[in-house]
């Protein structure tokens, strides 16, 4: 079985990454709607349980077998913990205290942590100067795109900001750990089903013990729509794409979605909500594009060849 990744992403990889950025970019909006009426753990549990139910149905109709071995389920529970339970809970809790713009900027540090963690643990994802330069440029672009004014909140609600940063570190470990499922012969759909099921099993008792959702008022239709969309699109569909990219292009490349998510969110706002695009949006997108090109490497290699 082929286990090596593409050191340079293909057009298919980039297309999947862009699609994933749209799905995960929308999650900040859906969470922002849901936290107005539901507590954090309830939102996270509903998110992963809805996604798990949808993917079990897809697995059944696709004819693929469910994960069975104890060793595989042990790995899936670890993956569910570091990919869903820990980061989802930290981000949703953090967003109850800080604005989504600042949360997006903090979330964009994910590639930085991923480069370090993957570089230390994976032989084929070593840290290179080109990766570091590209990530710094891309992060600067995200900050410009969202607006430096969002950074004014830094220092207030420090615990909430640290929670979002903790989520990005957890994502760094999860993308690195998730590389093992390709070598185990597990498909992206099977991995998604398993990890989301494991996350649901872990979250359900914690949620009922801490937040007692059975005693909460029934949420509004808008909140239910946001939660269902969060589970169906930003989780179920998103994680199938996530594991496809991870198995093909590796941990560092899939983490670049955190640079693209703010871009797609702003462009969707312009296309659908008739929101205005300002000069800082174009400048931010330019820097993000330069950063992604640096990490991809093909354009830089061509420039070097043309100057020699």
Comparing C-alpha atoms, which of 37, 7, 26 is closest to residue 223?
37
Range of lowest pLDDT (115-129, 177-191, 194-208, 236-250): 115-129
Identify the pLDDT of residue 308: 60
pLDDT, tens digit, 9 for 90 and up, residues 58-87: 999 999 999 989 999 999 999 999 999 999
Asked if pLDDT for residue 107 goes beyond 50, the answer is yes
Q: Domain range spanning residue 297?
A: 11-307
Q: Judge whether 97 lies within some domain.
A: yes
Q: Judge whether 299 lies within some domain.
A: yes
As a whole-number percent, the residues of the chain with pLDDT over 90 amount to 37
Q: Judge whether 2 lies within some domain.
A: no
Identify the pLDDT of residue 75: 96
Q: Judge whether 3 lies within some domain.
A: no
pLDDT range class, residue 256, cuts 50, 70, 90: confident
Within a 13 Å sphere around the CA of 47, how many CA atoms are in the beta-carbon half? 33
Identify the pLDDT of residue 1: 45
| Higher per-residue pLDDT: 9 or 211 | 211
| Higher per-residue pLDDT: 38 or 259 | 38
> In the numeric block, which tokens belong to residue 60?
């059944």
pLDDT range class, residue 155, cuts 50, 70, 90: low
Domain total in the chain: 1
Q: What is the mean pLDDT of residues 237-261?
A: 87
Identify the pLDDT of residue 301: 65
Q: Judge whether 4 lies within some domain.
A: no
pLDDT, tens digit, 9 for 90 and up, residues 88-99: 899 889 888 887
Q: Judge whether 51 lies within some domain.
A: yes
pLDDT, tens digit, 9 for 90 and up, residues 198-217: 999 999 999 999 898 888 88
Identify the pLDDT of residue 304: 65
**Full-model pTM:** 0.83
pLDDT, tens digit, 9 for 90 and up, residues 277-300: 788 888 888 888 888 888 776 666
| Higher per-residue pLDDT: 117 or 152 | 117
Range of lowest pLDDT (30-39, 77-86, 115-124, 267-276): 267-276
């Amino acid at each position: 079985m082929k286990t090596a990744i593409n050191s340079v992403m293909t057009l298919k990889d980039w297309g999947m990454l862009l699609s994933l950025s749209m799905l995960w970019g929308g999650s900040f909006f859906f969470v922002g709607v849901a936290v107005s009426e539901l507590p954090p753990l309830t939102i996270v549990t509903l998110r992963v349980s809805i996604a798990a139910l949808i993917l079990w149905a897809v697995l059944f109709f696709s004819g693929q077998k469910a994960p069975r071995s104890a060793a595989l389920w042990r790995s899936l529970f670890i993956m569910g913990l570091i990919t869903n339970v820990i980061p989802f809970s930290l981000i949703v809790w953090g967003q109850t205290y800080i604005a989504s713009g600042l949360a997006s900027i903090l979330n964009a540090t994910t590639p930085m942590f991923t480069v370090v963690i993957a570089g230390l643990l994976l032989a084929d994802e070593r840290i290179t100067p080109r990766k570091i330069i590209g990530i710094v440029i891309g992060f600067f672009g995200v900050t410009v795109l969202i607006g430096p004014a969002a950074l004014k909140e830094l220092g207030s609600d420090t615990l909430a900001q640290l929670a979002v940063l903790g989520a990005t570190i957890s994502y760094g470990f999860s993308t690195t750990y998730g590389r093992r499922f390709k070598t185990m012969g597990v498909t992206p759909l099977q991995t998604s089903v398993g990890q989301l099921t494991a996350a649901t099993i872990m979250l359900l008792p914690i949620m009922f013990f801490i937040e007692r959702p059975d005693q909460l008022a029934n949420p509004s239709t808008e909140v239910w729509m946001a939660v269902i969309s969060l589970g169906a699109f930003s989780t179920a569909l998103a994680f199938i794409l996530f594991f496809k990219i991870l198995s093909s292009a590796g941990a560092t490349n899939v983490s670049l979605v955190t640079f693209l998510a703010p871009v797609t969110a702003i462009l969707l706002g312009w296309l659908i909500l008739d929101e205005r695009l300002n000069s800082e949006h174009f400048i931010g997108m330019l820097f993000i594009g330069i950063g992604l090109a640096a990490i991809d490497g093909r354009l830089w290699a061509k420039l070097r060849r043309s100057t020699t």
